[in-house]
Structure 1
Amino acid sequence: MNTLPTNWLTAGLLDFEYKKYLLLAYLQAAKNEFGKQRLYPVFSDLNMHYRNLQQVKAHKQLVYESFPERISRADFEKLELVYEKIVQDDETMQQIEEIIQYAAPLFNEALAEGKELYDFVERHLEISPVGITPMYHNEGYLFLEAFPGKETQVYVYRITVFENTYEKYRGINTKHLQTVRRGLALTHEHLKVQLLRERHDLPNPATFAVVSRIPVPLEHSLLPIAKRSLVKFVTNLAA
């Protein structure tokens, strides 16, 4: 799809009409992706651009990434560089602010559309444990089924936890193992037993099945949303 450079706001020709053209072409491409029910990577990309706009709006000195500059002072205690700008808050910065004022509500609108699609897909996912669930849930198997459920995508997953002073973050990594065509004789439980026989790296794995009740693209919507939903599900189990 039509992408937007990270530094689109300040790179190249700093002209309102030109930036407006770039932005509208990008947002139209994003909406086309949503129309195909393809959320990723465009939804993450939109969030990144919107956060960047808010940062520039709140801290105009962050515009340094695309303008000439010289370091005037280094504050090593806070691990940050303070830049003295050659470009001052004059007509150039006023143009940037004009572009931000135009772009921010349009990004908001596109993000709201993406969030609505995300919530719609998430509401139509069913997550359930397969077999006996051990006390340790941060690694195991994920059985993922798109609609209609003729095949099961088998992944091994690992949830990692990152902490800072204020809060705890959880991320998830998955590796695709195989695609299995299930039938009446091969239930999720039988599939788990089969994996235990074939693989010995996870002797007592947590295993969860995520089933979609609506047709959505696997790689661009179902898998990333299923991964985030599984993290929330496992977090609630541990609470």
Structure 2
Amino acid sequence: MNTLPINWLTEGLLDFEYKKYMLLAYLQAVKSEFGQHRLYPVFSDLIMHYRNLMQIKEHKQLVYEQFPQRISRADFEKLELIYQKIVEDDETMAQIEEIIQYASPLFSETLEEGKELYEFVESHLEITPVGITPIYHNEGYLFLDTFPGKETQVYLYRITVFKNTYEQYRGINTEHVQTVRRGLSLTHENLKVQLIKERKDLPNPATFAVISKVPVPLEQSLLPIAKRTLVKYVAKLSA
């Protein structure tokens, strides 16, 4: 896919038409992914670029927390230094602001398309507990049924809770265990019993089934959204 560098505003030729070409090529590639119901990683990448753009527009500075984990603190500090020099150059900054004014509504429009796709997929997911749910919900199995429901992807999940002074965040990690073709004789409940027998490390696991009602790509849409759905569901159980 045609990607957009993290520092696309400042690197290379600082020319409005050139930056416009870069941006339009990137957004066209993003929309192509959305058209194939592929949300990730392009949606999170798009959000990062938009947030960065808004920070520059509103505060004339970069914020490290807005960048993805793949950028190191050293890389960020180098980028921040380059940007600071640009801010101090009125003529260059005027060109940057022209690009920002052009790019902002285009990013907003594309983000809205991604949001609509996300909500469409999320609204066609059904989540239910499998068997008796134990008190501890932050570790267990996720059964993910792809449409039209002939296969179940089995994942081991772990939810981690992060806290700061103001808020509490939940992150989730998954490990693919197996792919199962289910039939009348192999229900979600039977599959859970089978896993308990085979994997003694989780004798009483929390287990949830997420069922997709529409066909969407597993890795690029279904799994990431199912994971977020599970996190929200578990958070309600723990409230």
Secondary structure at the counterpart of residue 143 of structure 1: strand
**Counterpart check, 1:195 vs 2:166:** no
The equivalent residue for 2:126 is 126
The equivalent residue for 1:14 is 14
Unmatched segments (≥5 aa) in structure 2: 64-76
The equivalent residue for 2:224 is 224
The equivalent residue for 1:97 is 97
Distance 1:103 1:65, change over 3 A: farther
Is 2:52–2:62's contact at 8 Å kept on the other side of the alignment? no
Distance, in Å, in 2 between the alignment partners of 1:163 and 1:203 is: 29
User: What one-letter code is carried by the residue in structure 1 that aligns with 2:218?
Assistant: L
Distance, in Å, in 1 between the alignment partners of 2:198 and 2:92 is: 64
Q: Provide runs of 4+ in structure 1 moved above 2 Å.
A: 61-69, 83-87
Question: Of the two, which has the highest radius of gyration?
Answer: 1
Distance, in Å, in 1 between the alignment partners of 2:57 and 2:232 is: 33
User: What one-letter code is carried by the residue in structure 2 that aligns with 1:122?
Assistant: E
The equivalent residue for 1:77 is none
Q: How far off its partner does 1:87 sit? A: 5.8
Distance, in Å, in 2 between the alignment partners of 1:209 and 1:177 is: 14
Distance, in Å, in 1 between the alignment partners of 2:59 and 2:200 is: 53
The equivalent residue for 1:107 is 107
Distance, in Å, in 2 between the alignment partners of 1:210 and 1:147 is: 11
Distance, in Å, in 2 between the alignment partners of 1:84 and 1:176 is: 44
The equivalent residue for 1:151 is 151
Distance, in Å, in 1 between the alignment partners of 2:46 and 2:32 is: 14
* Superposed counterparts of 1:1-239, under 5 Å: 1-62=1-62, 65-66=78-79, 85=85, 88-239=88-239
Q: How far off its partner does 1:192 sit? A: 0.2
Distance, in Å, in 2 between the alignment partners of 1:41 and 1:163 is: 25
Distance, in Å, in 2 between the alignment partners of 1:186 and 1:68 is: 59
Unmatched segments (≥5 aa) in structure 1: 70-82
Secondary structure at the counterpart of residue 172 of structure 2: strand
Between the aligned residues of both structures, percent identity stands at 78
Secondary structure at the counterpart of residue 237 of structure 1: helix
Q: How far off its partner does 1:85 sit? A: 3.7
Distance 1:87 1:171, change over 3 A: closer
Is 2:86–2:93's contact at 8 Å kept on the other side of the alignment? no
Root mean square deviation of aligned Cα: 1.7
Which TM-score applies when normalising by structure 2? 0.91
Is 1:145–1:153's contact at 8 Å kept on the other side of the alignment? yes
